[in-house]
């Protein structure tokens, strides 16, 4: 996502070349720098056949220092770039709520594994949202995504500015002599960097000194970053225990009744004890069939509760990118599917990775584009004209589908009959905060969960740590519950409200009549 708005640059050109979506900031400054950035970004499109220039390659410059007053995370001490002399250093500029930043984590892991002696990866966390600036929340994100390298908290964007960065994610390559020799924005980091590293390595003497980091660790908990929850049969719940890569069936009192997945990060089918997932989120139940959004595997899996088996029914593992008129009316692949909602013989999919809503035909298990151009923006209009911003939650009232549009801190409405998208709450990618009242002034902060009850919309206002209520008739927003740690989803069951309190690894039960809140004790 891009922080600043370019002038006279084609949306389509950028979107298709970057295979990433774009966030726009209100300021229009620094266009000459952006032009240079865009040239670097697109250089692979205009390669000189004789020179064979890499899309990472930039003119050599001295690498600015990366220390900040906010310190280092995921290590027990601070470092200077001089500490890494003799090694290549890869700086990863990211912000943890950005789905495209999450997408490149596997690429970084592969590079770290293949170049253990030659390459040091350092994350530069330049936060978009207010909550993302706090070191303690960055630590949680590091644990959630399994990041195994140190991270610098660049809360004031000083490192970002010193390197002239314009987009999340961007990686910068520094050579063993401390010179910047490469830069790339967007996804596809491994494919761009590996051949470039192979070309550069013979030119340098690599230090044999081994660099190790004392990484942060988290205590073991019954649940680990729980996310989406739905009602099961006989008054029970199904919950995505995403940090443990499994799905649990539990009673309202917290007794674990069943478990799907072996608990290891993977992508396998088979029995409940053999199957594996990679950070599953959305769930939907139809009879004895449980649909699972296997988010980081970019797949929809189906658990047959009678046969106790799991199989993939949509997605091939690739991140599907479809813009504007691409692949309309033909089967497509989900891209980081985050939430699911069944409506008759259709299932809607919040495809966060490509900022779209998809539709699965439950008779054929084929997935089609439904709403969204694929560009990241808050745009209303017809299904083909509207644009979303990392949709992460779904609910329905009558003939209207509602979407928690996380990166725009917005609630979107899709009229399924008129096939129109509107925005009852939210203003844009950089309009966020914590304000109740009339929808014209009310603000959320990266809300990822949503649930409808009695004509009201209950919102997991994730980065504000609150549950808020949107009254569509009165056009009012009010806080119902505060003091949570990144709530992810909401479920009403037996006159109780259940909330996944994700960063505290909890399922919370709230009696709204008694105004009582308690943490559900998960018992295996």
Residue 55 maps to which CATH number? 3.40.30.10
Looking at the fold, whether 114 and 153 belong to one and the same domain comes out as yes
pLDDT tier, 38 (very low <50, low <70, confident <90, very high otherwise):
very low
Query: So what's the pLDDT on residue 2?
Result: 61
* DSSP summary character for residue 243: G
Stretch 296-315: mean pLDDT: 98
Looking at the fold, whether 92 and 160 belong to one and the same domain comes out as yes
Which of the pair, 327 or 26, is modelled with greater confidence? Answer: 327
Would residue 44 count as lying in a domain? yes
Looking at the fold, whether 169 and 293 belong to one and the same domain comes out as no
Evaluate if residue 25 carries a pLDDT over 60.
Answer: no
The residue among 203, 236, 271 that closes a domain is: 203
Instruction: Using the structure block, give the residue that is written with the tokens 């509602």.
Output: 402
Would residue 163 count as lying in a domain? yes
Stretch 352-371: mean pLDDT: 98
Distances (CA, A) of 62 to 66, 81, 174, 182: 12, 11, 9, 12
Query: So what's the pLDDT on residue 33?
Result: 32
Task: Report d(CA 152, CA 79) in Å as an integer.
Answer: 10
Looking at the fold, whether 119 and 195 belong to one and the same domain comes out as yes
Task: Report d(CA 321, CA 114) in Å as an integer.
Answer: 28
pLDDT tier, 1 (very low <50, low <70, confident <90, very high otherwise):
confident
Looking at the fold, whether 186 and 239 belong to one and the same domain comes out as no
pLDDT digits (tens, 9 = 90+) for 89-117: 999 999 999 999 999 999 999 999 999 99
Query: So what's the pLDDT on residue 19?
Result: 37
Looking at the fold, whether 21 and 113 belong to one and the same domain comes out as yes
Q: State whether residue 397 is helix, strand or coil.
A: strand
Task: Report d(CA 295, CA 488) in Å as an integer.
Answer: 15
Q: Find residue 350's DSSP bridge partners.
A: 339, 357
Task: Report d(CA 225, CA 504) in Å as an integer.
Answer: 7
pLDDT tier, 268 (very low <50, low <70, confident <90, very high otherwise):
very high
Share of the chain above pLDDT 90, in %: 87
Evaluate if residue 11 carries a pLDDT over 80.
Answer: no
pLDDT tier, 27 (very low <50, low <70, confident <90, very high otherwise):
very low
pLDDT tier, 57 (very low <50, low <70, confident <90, very high otherwise):
confident
For the chain, what is the mean pLDDT?
Answer: 91
Looking at the fold, whether 130 and 234 belong to one and the same domain comes out as no
Looking at the fold, whether 37 and 177 belong to one and the same domain comes out as yes
Would residue 71 count as lying in a domain? yes
Looking at the fold, whether 126 and 244 belong to one and the same domain comes out as no
Task: Give me 144's structure tokens.
Answer: 């959630």
- Distance of alpha carbon 161 from the chain centroid: 24
pLDDT tier, 55 (very low <50, low <70, confident <90, very high otherwise):
confident
Task: Report d(CA 220, CA 19) in Å as an integer.
Answer: 37
Query: So what's the pLDDT on residue 58?
Result: 87
Would residue 327 count as lying in a domain? no
pLDDT digits (tens, 9 = 90+) for 14-23: 233 333 333 3
Would residue 422 count as lying in a domain? no
Stretch 460-482: mean pLDDT: 98
Would residue 140 count as lying in a domain? yes
Looking at the fold, whether 193 and 248 belong to one and the same domain comes out as no
Each as own residue / partner, the long-range contacts of residues 239-244 (CB below 8 Å, 24 or more positions apart, any chain) are 239/283, 239/500, 239/507, 240/280, 240/281, 240/282, 240/283, 240/292, 242/279, 242/280, 242/281, 242/295, 243/143, 243/144, 243/279, 243/505
Query: So what's the pLDDT on residue 36?
Result: 31
Would residue 161 count as lying in a domain? yes
Stretch 355-379: mean pLDDT: 98
Evaluate if residue 53 carries a pLDDT over 50.
Answer: no
Would residue 442 count as lying in a domain? no
pLDDT digits (tens, 9 = 90+) for 158-210: 999 999 999 999 999 999 999 999 999 999 999 999 999 999 999 999 999 99
Looking at the fold, whether 243 and 192 belong to one and the same domain comes out as no
Query: So what's the pLDDT on residue 37?
Result: 34
The boundaries of the domain holding residue 63 are 11-203
The residue among 148, 168, 203 that closes a domain is: 203
pLDDT digits (tens, 9 = 90+) for 390-406: 999 999 999 999 999 99
Evaluate if residue 254 carries a pLDDT over 50.
Answer: yes
Contact assessment for residue 468 and residue 456, using Cβ atoms and an 8 Å cutoff: no
Which of the pair, 414 or 54, is modelled with greater confidence? Answer: 414
Looking at the fold, whether 34 and 131 belong to one and the same domain comes out as yes
- Split into its structural domains, the chain has a count of 2
Q: State whether residue 128 is helix, strand or coil.
A: coil
């Amino acid at each position: 996502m891009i922080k600043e708005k370019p002038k006279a640059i084609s949306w389509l050109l950028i979107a298709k070349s970057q295979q990433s979506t774009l966030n726009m900031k209100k300021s229009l400054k620094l266009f000459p720098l952006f032009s240079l950035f865009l040239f670097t970004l697109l250089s692979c499109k205009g390669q000189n056949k004789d020179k064979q220039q890499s899309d990472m390659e930039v003119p050599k410059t001295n690498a600015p220092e990366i220390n900040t007053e906010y310190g280092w995370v995921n290590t027990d001490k601070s470092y200077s770039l001089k500490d890494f002399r003799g090694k290549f250093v890869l700086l990863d500029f990211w912000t943890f709520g950005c789905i495209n930043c999450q997408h490149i984590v596997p690429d970084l892991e592969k590079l770290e594994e293949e170049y253990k002696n030659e390459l040091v990866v350092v994350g530069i966390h330049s936060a978009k949202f207010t909550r993302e600036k706090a070191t303690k929340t960055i630590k949680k994100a590091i644990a959630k995504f399994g990041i195994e390298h140190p991270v610098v908290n660049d809360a004031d964007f000083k490192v970002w500015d010193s390197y002239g960065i314009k987009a999340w994610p961007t990686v910068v390559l520094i050579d063993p002599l401390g010179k910047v020799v490469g830069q790339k924005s967007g996804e596809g980091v491994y494919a761009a960097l590996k051949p470039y590293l192979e070309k550069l390595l013979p030119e340098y003497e690599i230090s044999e000194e081994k660099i190790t980091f004392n990484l942060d660790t988290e205590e073991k908990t019954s649940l680990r970053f729980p996310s989406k929850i739905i009602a099961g049969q006989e008054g029970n719940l199904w919950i995505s225990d995403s940090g443990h890569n499994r799905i649990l069936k539990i009673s309202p009192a917290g007794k674990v009744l069943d478990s799907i997945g072996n608990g290891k990060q993977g992508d396998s089918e088979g029995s409940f004890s053999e199957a594996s997932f990679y950070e599953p989120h959305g769930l939907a139940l139809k009879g004895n069939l449980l649909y699972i959004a296997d988010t980081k595997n970019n797949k929809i899996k189906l658990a047959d509760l009678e046969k106790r088996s799991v199989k993939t029914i949509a997605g091939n593992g690739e991140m599907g990118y479809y813009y504007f008129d691409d692949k309309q009316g033909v089967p497509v692949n989900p891209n980081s599917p985050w939430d699911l909602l069944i409506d008759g013989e259709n299932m809607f999919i919040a495809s966060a990775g490509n900022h779209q809503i998809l539709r699965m035909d439950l008779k054929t298990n084929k997935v089609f584009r439904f709403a969204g151009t694929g560009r990241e923006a808050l745009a209303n209009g017809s299904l083909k004209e509207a644009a979303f911003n990392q949709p992460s939650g779904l609910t329905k009232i009558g003939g209207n589908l509602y979407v928690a549009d996380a990166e725009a801190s917005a609630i979107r409405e899709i009229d399924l009959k008129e096939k129109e998208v509107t925005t009852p709450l939210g203003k844009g990618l950089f309009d966020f905060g914590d304000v109740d009242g009339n929808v014209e002034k009310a603000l959320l902060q990266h809300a990822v969960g949503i649930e409808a009850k009695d004509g009201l919309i209950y919102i997991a206002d994730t980065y504000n740590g609150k549950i808020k209520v949107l009254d569509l008739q009165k056009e009012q927003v009010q806080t119902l519950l505060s003091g949570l740690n990144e709530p992810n989803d909401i479920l009403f069951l037996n006159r109780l409200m259940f909330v996944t309190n994700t960063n505290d690894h909890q399922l919370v039960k709230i009696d709204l009549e008694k105004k009582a809140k308690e943490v559900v004790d998960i018992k295996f």
